[in-house]
Amino acid sequence: MTHTFRVWAPIAHRMAVDIDGRRLDMSAREDGWWEATVDGAGPGTRYAFSVDGGPARPDPRSSSQPEGVDGWSEIVDHGSFSWRDSGWRGLPLPGSVLYELHVGTFTDPGTFDAVVERLPHLVDLGADAIELLPVAEFAGTRGWGYDSVDLFAPHHRYGGPEGLKRLVDACHEHGLGVIMDVVYNHLGPSGNYLADFGPYFTDRHHTDWGAAVNFDGSDSREVRRFVIDNALMWLRDYHCDGLRIDAVHAIVDQSPIHILEELSTEVEALACDLHRHLFLIAESDLNEPRLVRSRDGGGFGLDAAWADDWHHALHARFTGERNGYYSDFGSLSALAKALRQAWVYDGQWSEYRRRTRGRPPMGLDGSRFVVSLQNHDQIGNRAKGERLGHLIPAARLKVAAALLLAGPFTPMLFQGEEWGATSPFQYFADMDDPDLRRAVRDGRRREFAGFGWNPEHIPDPGDPATFERSKLDWSEPRRPLHAEILKWYRQLIRLRHDLPGMSDPRPERHRVAWDEDAGWVMAQRGQYLVAASLGADTVVLTVPRGTRTVTVSNPTVHLGDGRLVLPPDSVAIMSTAQL
Amino acid sequence: MTHTFRVWAPIAHRMAVDIDGRRLDMSAREDGWWEATVDGAGPGTRYAFSVDGGPARPDPRSSSQPEGVDGWSEIVDHGSFSWRDSGWRGLPLPGSVLYELHVGTFTDPGTFDAVVERLPHLVDLGADAIELLPVAEFAGTRGWGYDSVDLFAPHHRYGGPEGLKRLVDACHEHGLGVIMDVVYNHLGPSGNYLADFGPYFTDRHHTDWGAAVNFDGSDSREVRRFVIDNALMWLRDYHCDGLRIDAVHAIVDQSPIHILEELSTEVEALACDLHRHLFLIAESDLNEPRLVRSRDGGGFGLDAAWADDWHHALHARFTGERNGYYSDFGSLSALAKALRQAWVYDGQWSEYRRRTRGRPPMGLDGSRFVVSLQNHDQIGNRAKGERLGHLIPAARLKVAAALLLAGPFTPMLFQGEEWGATSPFQYFADMDDPDLRRAVRDGRRREFAGFGWNPEHIPDPGDPATFERSKLDWSEPRRPLHAEILKWYRQLIRLRHDLPGMSDPRPERHRVAWDEDAGWVMAQRGQYLVAASLGADTVVLTVPRGTRTVTVSNPTVHLGDGRLVLPPDSVAIMSTAQL
């Protein structure tokens, strides 16, 4: 058994690999790479690197960190897993219903294997793909994952490389796709040793969460390769079907070819090679069509982008909240625009941002916008991590679900949403450094104090109880009220999948009418009508004669003689097609 | 049981439906449509239409013609088939190996069900999708299918609608996709009653094979709908994965939105609805990138286009033939250009056509070009339907197969090619009209007499023996020489699927060197080298040190010390990557 260690460390004068109590010199190769071939090393062997005689550091491209971010790295052989998904050709993103989940809180054990046991629930629900919050190794035993530092190593507490492979394999066996959330705009502060090896970061740009990644400065070629190889690894070695790229608006790249365009080119080539469908989704608040336009049309060639406007427009109107960025939303006309084209801000002035925002999504298919009623950020970044179901009555929640699922966009649920879970999803992080832990807690308390909260009521991210109370309670979906919500979600997803045209992605097939004062909105989705009442009084709407109901959220909704009677907080899905 | 008959007949003054010996008047509806609801009619019922009191005519949109093109139509319920492919999400075209087959001659019975029995052979070969020559109802009992007239009715002799569904279902069960060849540029001359109903044809344009379809004249809207609905039917009701659209260079459409762009938009929406991957391939000799560029890049948004240049460059160089369109090819430099970018003519003067031809395929992925060593046209349009294997020795055939399969383009085999089948594929057609039959035979004889053929030696398309001798002999693949060719094809396809980068679609990963005089060509495919010797003498080529062979077509090929020794008619596939 022999293994060749390789590492990029262009700023090092000498490099060594620590293994079995020995420190072995590495040889300089071209372009800042170092190499050492070691007898007796192979899968399972622990090792570390030393830069210029410094302390043992994890491999920047470590495949496994069995003892966490500060521990030694472990050699992994990606060829040894027995995949059973050879017939899997990938999942088409258009037409899919996504399901976002956090491995640590989705189940009580908080592992990849524990997720596997819940897959039948997701199949039964009708979800098409799960989207995992970042699983790359981050500091401590609990966290959302956005502060990962070992980007190539699935978190050891979740089950490491083997556990993740078992999960993806099981998903494919259940006909479910897997989307991996990846963070390339910054790395976490704790356990981050990359700067010891090379110019991974730059101070020419900066992000809200940490040093910006050096995508366009001197010696950025290998940094770009680092990121692209990471993306390809999830798709190739872990058989993931797609990636969700975190906060691309915080990726500044002034290179001739933007890193996202380069990535989409490489992923297309890999898809050809693997003969599977692969896709890329960007999280962005820029409302920038270039992200999803084709490369030959001047775009980056990604498959879809998150549309937070859709969420904000619905949330503000449904809850009445107007704080923070919700101040830019709240009207029924904003909701109607979201229901029509996902992006509300397509060039207008944003009072909250004090600048104009967005461009019109001309000609883009609806499936290219990922929309949600709630997600980890919109729940977790609230002071107490309240879900939408904590804020509005169940009847209104059912209206929101219908607007989410009976439409042209790609809908995404957040774990437990489908049964109106009572557990919050709070911000939690397990930081070894007590100063960092205190700084995060106090910063968060200050932030919410600005909105009038009592700082003592803000959960402490570092308290294990904050993590524990964010876990789903799997006895809930069987209880009456929750079972009713679950049934409604199941029915809506089934309708979405079974009724041709319900989710027709072509923008010209969708029209939205509304009445701000009376509080109703009606979306035409091809031959379907989705009418919702959000006001205080029952409304009566005129629909074409021959229209019939497909489903209603409330038995008192009545349709007859071309008149639809909608009590407050109710929704009707109708068809205008002849039987 | 009741059924509503609908037909578009804008030029009719009255319309009737013939059923059970009765002639029932139809009512005029909007936009030239007629309608009649008839009790007692349903799946299996035979019917016909009468225009202005004229004779019984098949429904232009007939789903089934159990008695052929001149017989009555039959009602089909597409919802009644028990599909077993609910988990099938479609096939990605990039990375696929296609296999063109003609249902009538692929097997002795010549039916859809008989194709099913041969699917294990195709799985074993490594093919990913079959491409069926057109199966829509055409006149007579045998024919290539390009003269179909009932575009919505699978040919009754092949097994009709049920038979085709059984075939597609079985393909999906075997992990194989199905591509349907569809002809929208003209319709066949025999059994074509469309002009009795409406302005389906135009004399403002014309094709070599019959009246041009009215895509852009007055009242063309419903004609366009006819074609688009037909395309969607194959994908939706027959679960086909893609369409191969015949001779799009003969589709003239000066509408604001070209019919192919409209079609690709509709197919994308259907794919979202069905939650399956669907794709469109154009046959075109225009070398026009617009076909496959994205719609937001000003293109039609098709997925791939045939690249006949690739065939011609290889065929002319490998056979030495220079007649007809082969006169534009023959050099090793033309072959090298084909191996690099599929299209040889990308703007240059074509002496054969006496005009410039094509545009550069800038930036287009290799997977967007469908290439072949032989196909129904290149074989069948020869005087005697000779395959490439009839024209060159087996050693040279193996070289050609390696150039086909070890490259960036989407390769397509023609039935039996994989074992060097001895059966020809001749032009056959069973025309009821003796005058038409004689005209076709004599026209064909005249055409080939121009190339020096004795007319008496040209097979008569109407002779049943011409059809019979074009059938595959399934005992061949077990015979030694054929088994060796089959083994070579299997190996090449396996390498293509298993070796990352072998078919990398990115144009910048491919380089081609050649020596016209010495007769060798060497293509670099990422880390792979494919070197072929086509001259009279053994050649010695220099390759990077450390290069090793992946496979060779001939045991006398020798690689050592960076020197590759290639005897005439041999090929070596090598890797330059370190082990």
Please indicate, yes or no, if residue A81 is contained in any of the structural domains: no
The verdict on A53 and A147 lying in the same domain is no
Task: Pick A506's closest partner by Cβ from B269, B297, B501.
Answer: B269
Q: How many domains does chain B have?
A: 3
Residue A335 is classified by DSSP as: H
Please indicate, yes or no, if residue A117 is contained in any of the structural domains: yes
The verdict on B20 and B126 lying in the same domain is no
The verdict on A463 and A518 lying in the same domain is no
Residue B226 buriedness (CB in 10 A; 0-12 / 13-18 / 19+): buried
The verdict on A354 and A429 lying in the same domain is yes
Residues 26-65 of B with CB under 8 A from A: none
Q: For A373-389, b where at least 16 C-beta lie within 10 A, e where not — what string?
A: bbbbbbbbbbbbbbbbb
Structure confidence at residue B457 (pLDDT): 83
Of B498, B529, B562, which marks where a domain is finished? Answer: B498
The residue among B461, B456, B442 whose CA lies nearest residue B139 is: B461
Looking at the DSSP bridge assignments, the partners of residue B46 are: B74
The pLDDT > 70 percentage for chain A reads 100
Please indicate, yes or no, if residue A31 is contained in any of the structural domains: yes
Supply the CATH number for residue A11's domain: 2.60.40.10
The verdict on B476 and B534 lying in the same domain is no
Please indicate, yes or no, if residue A84 is contained in any of the structural domains: no
Residue contact B92–A503, C-beta within 8 A: no
The verdict on A134 and A194 lying in the same domain is yes
Active-site hit among B283, B418, B430, B504:
B283
Amino acid occupying residue B47: Y
φ, ψ of residue A221 in degrees (nearest 5)? -60, -45
Per-residue pLDDT of B111-136, as tens digits, reads 999 999 999 999 999 999 999 999 99
φ, ψ of residue A241 in degrees (nearest 5)? -95, -20
Active-site hit among A128, A283, A308, A476:
A283
The verdict on B340 and B488 lying in the same domain is yes
Per-residue pLDDT of A169-224, as tens digits, reads 999 999 999 999 999 999 998 899 999 999 999 988 878 887 899 999 999 999 99
Tell how far CA B50 is from the center of its chain.
35
Cβ(B94)–Cβ(B366) below 8 Å: no
The pLDDT > 90 percentage for chain A reads 88
Please indicate, yes or no, if residue B81 is contained in any of the structural domains: no
Please indicate, yes or no, if residue B72 is contained in any of the structural domains: no
The verdict on A122 and A46 lying in the same domain is no
The residue among B331, B330, B182 whose CA lies nearest residue B247 is: B182
Per-residue pLDDT of A9-49, as tens digits, reads 999 999 999 998 999 999 999 999 999 999 999 999 999 99
The verdict on A156 and A267 lying in the same domain is yes
| Shortest alpha-carbon distance between residue A79 and chain B (Å) | 13
Q: Is A11 on the interface with B (CB under 8 A)?
A: no
Q: Provide the pLDDT confidence category of residue A108 given band limits of 50, 70 and 90.
A: very high
The structure tokens listed for B166 are 């059984």
Residue of B nearest to A503 (CA): B273
The residue among A244, A250, A225 whose CA lies nearest residue A61 is: A225
- Which strand ranges, in their side-by-side order, compose the sheet holding B570-575? B510-515, B520-525, B528-533, B570-575, B548-552
Active-site hit among B100, B222, B246, B460:
B246
ipTM given for this complex: 0.85
Looking at the DSSP bridge assignments, the partners of residue A572 are: A531, A552
Of B433, B463, B498, which marks where a domain is finished? Answer: B498
**Distance (Å, whole) CA B434 – CA A364:** 54
Structure confidence at residue A238 (pLDDT): 98
Residue with more model confidence, B436 or B103: B103
Does residue B365 register a pLDDT over 70? yes
Poorest-confidence range of A104-113, A348-357, B306-315? A348-357
The verdict on B49 and B147 lying in the same domain is no
Supply the CATH number for residue B548's domain: 2.60.40.1180
Poorest-confidence range of A321-335, A427-441, A443-457, B5-19? A443-457
Residues of the domain holding A551: 512-575
Cβ(A370)–Cβ(A410) below 8 Å: yes
CA atoms B534, B538, B542, B544: torsion sign: positive
Residue contact A92–B276, C-beta within 8 A: yes
Q: For A266-290, b where at least 16 C-beta lie within 10 A, e where not — what string?
A: bbbbbbbbbbbbbbbbbbbbbbbbb
Torsion of CA B191, B194, B197, B199, to 10 degrees: -150
Task: Pick A273's closest partner by Cβ from B272, B275, B500.
Answer: B500
From the candidates B265, B275, B291, B504, which should be mutated to test the interface with A, based on the most A CB atoms within 10 A? B275
Does residue A579 register a pLDDT over 70? no
Please indicate, yes or no, if residue B79 is contained in any of the structural domains: no
**Distance (Å, whole) CA A488 – CA A419:** 9
The verdict on B186 and B285 lying in the same domain is yes
Q: Collect all residues of chain B within an 8 Å Cβ-Cβ radius of residue A232.
A: none
Structure confidence at residue B64 (pLDDT): 98
| Shortest alpha-carbon distance between residue B3 and chain A (Å) | 12
Q: Provide the pLDDT confidence category of residue B16 given band limits of 50, 70 and 90.
A: very high
φ, ψ of residue A228 in degrees (nearest 5)? -65, -40
Average predicted confidence (pLDDT) for chain A: 95
Residue contact A273–B501, C-beta within 8 A: yes
**Secondary element (H or E) of residue B474:** none
The verdict on A412 and A463 lying in the same domain is yes
Please indicate, yes or no, if residue A306 is contained in any of the structural domains: yes
Structure confidence at residue A452 (pLDDT): 73
Q: Provide the pLDDT confidence category of residue B579 given band limits of 50, 70 and 90.
A: low
